Structure 1
């Protein structure tokens, strides 16, 4: 007889990728999505170029994903989106180092200057607004990545960029011909630079109610105890063996938990705990900084390694990589001048030869 499925506690929502029409991923649809250009929530006061720079190579990061996550108990969070950016330079992805990631929180009350009071229609609008270069507020965006663009082409002044680097990339691949009237302004998008764009949909995690996890935990505990009781003269070797056992236990728990839904690319559990891939490099409470408002930061969601399979980042020499990326946000979801507030990311890599 099949085991009855039960919901976990606290409830975890799993994120999966689905194809969507481009208009469904624009700002006024309040999307959760992966890749493409950001669908900005607040139409002014965007993160600056310096705020979006990779802390290692100093190049601009690009949109990895965004999660629409309102907080119903606060009117100021009627609309609320978390934006995650990452560097595209593989060499910046050193072990257990989060300096190649950025995350920002933005929120708005239901009554605001940018969106109607009522929810958006589920039907395709007659005229979808192209917000890839200019927002409704009039703010100009980088033609390549969709972030704040304050550098205009000195020749035609018709397109803007966030940085010299992105202007150079677009010039080589597209804009050089446009500027000399050799190509139409509606030429094909430079999709290869951005991550592929997908809608991010969520559903509650359900796991079969079995006692396998208990038996597995008991077995691993016995192994760990045996390791500790082994009368080794070399204490360093004993410590290493214990650590390897603990690491194996954490990794097996990770693999077992995702086995029912192997395509999950995100796990959302605000105020819960991440599903770590290793016993190494797990943050202590004091390693997660408080919000500038003074409130603690709590875990909100994590990005899974399965997402890498959809980003087209594999290379023979080096590649963008991670075990899991955990996002921590202000427990009070404070309103810092209603701008885009930087939050905290913790990157954890696999240890040894672990693979999902």
Structure 2
């Protein structure tokens, strides 16, 4: 399903594994106390969000890059803005599949001016006007006759490939709706049993448990979501826990124009299930990956521009009782 955002279609997300040589050195995740911005202390405002879900494509050829697909895994979110220069606007997320590498980078993430920028999770923005030197302004034929532009991918450890479909939050799929029009699998915000209020009261005084309960209650509206996107500039990330959040000073300015970066989308841990990540000591795991992008979506010539990803580790989550 395509979602119309600012007169354009939200079509594509690409998340891929990043192959790197790993050190065997064990790295501990230091706890770093920092002042979290006021906006993160408040509950997330009910700003309209677009949710991403994964499903196997009906026709694999529709995920070829010339169709600008939204996808996760395989060989790389598509988020056009109304400006002519951003008619084609895509984000590519690459990550090392080793948890050791992610833990190592946690030390650097908390440094305002890291000596070695985070290398286990990389986000790149690419944008082109409709008329450009790389793609025709006419849509390619959707008949499966197009062939891949290369013989194969360089990586030898690709994750399973899925199409990412988009739905507005709070609008359940018709297939999930009963004949009486109520979505039995979703939890209504107006439910009258008061169970969530009781849960919050029980967790009073325990910030981590309270944050986790709020996260679970919000996600339960659509449990299979793997992506939360908002181009409004007003939305806030949905944090699973209260610790491990960045302050405003932790979000660097744009490397290219010096402008402010703002929250645009986040990747949820549900994606790990669909990628069939094994449950082992060095298995990749996270609570959420929050991506901050240049609010001006600056141009600065043709090329890929690196944006900023903040990783909140799952190990910071509350323990289940």
Regarding TM over 0.5, the answer is yes
Cα 1:103–1:112, aligned 2, differ >3 Å: closer, same or farther?
Answer: same
- Measure the CA separation in 2 of the matches of 1:204 and 1:106: 24
Aligned match of 1:201: 165
1:269 pairs with 215, 226, 230, which one?
A: 230
- Measure the CA separation in 2 of the matches of 1:19 and 1:195: 13
Aligned match of 1:124: 143
SS of residue paired to 2:103 = coil
Question: Does residue 68 of structure 2 align to residue 71 of structure 1?
Answer: no
1:101-121 deviations in Å (ceiling 9; x for gaps): 000000000111121213344
SS of residue paired to 1:255 = helix
1:1-356 to structure 2, matched below 5 A, reads 9-20=46-57, 21-38=59-76, 67-72=77-82, 74-94=83-103, 97=106, 99=118, 100-121=120-141, 123-126=142-145, 128-133=146-151, 143-145=153-155, 193-206=157-170, 208-210=188-190, 216=196, 220=200, 224=204, 242=205, 245-270=206-231, 271=233, 272-292=235-255, 293-350=257-314, 351-354=316-319
Displacement after TM superposition at 1:280 (Å):
0.1
1:1-41 deviations in Å (ceiling 9; x for gaps): xxxxxxx8421111011111231111210111011113xxx
1:169-215 deviations in Å (ceiling 9; x for gaps): xxxxxxxxxxxxxxxxxxxxx6xx10110111111010734167998
* Residues 37 and 132 in structure 1, CA contact (< 8 A), matched pair in contact too: no
* Residues 98 and 282 in structure 2, CA contact (< 8 A), matched pair in contact too: no
- Which structure is larger by alpha-carbon Rg, 1 or 2? 1
- Measure the CA separation in 2 of the matches of 1:223 and 1:30: 45
- Measure the CA separation in 1 of the matches of 2:47 and 2:241: 21
- Measure the CA separation in 2 of the matches of 1:336 and 1:221: 51
* Residues 12 and 204 in structure 1, CA contact (< 8 A), matched pair in contact too: yes
* Residues 241 and 318 in structure 2, CA contact (< 8 A), matched pair in contact too: no
* Residues 278 and 349 in structure 1, CA contact (< 8 A), matched pair in contact too: no
Displacement after TM superposition at 1:143 (Å):
3.8
SS of residue paired to 2:264 = strand
SS of residue paired to 1:93 = helix
- Measure the CA separation in 2 of the matches of 1:106 and 1:308: 25
Q: Report the TM-score, using the length of structure 1 for normalisation.
A: 0.63
- Measure the CA separation in 2 of the matches of 1:120 and 1:9: 38
Q: Structure 1 runs of 4+ off > 3 angstroms?
A: 211-224, 352-355
The aligned length equals 244
Cα 1:115–1:353, aligned 2, differ >3 Å: closer, same or farther?
Answer: same
Displacement after TM superposition at 1:131 (Å):
2.1
* Residues 80 and 106 in structure 1, CA contact (< 8 A), matched pair in contact too: yes
SS of residue paired to 1:206 = coil
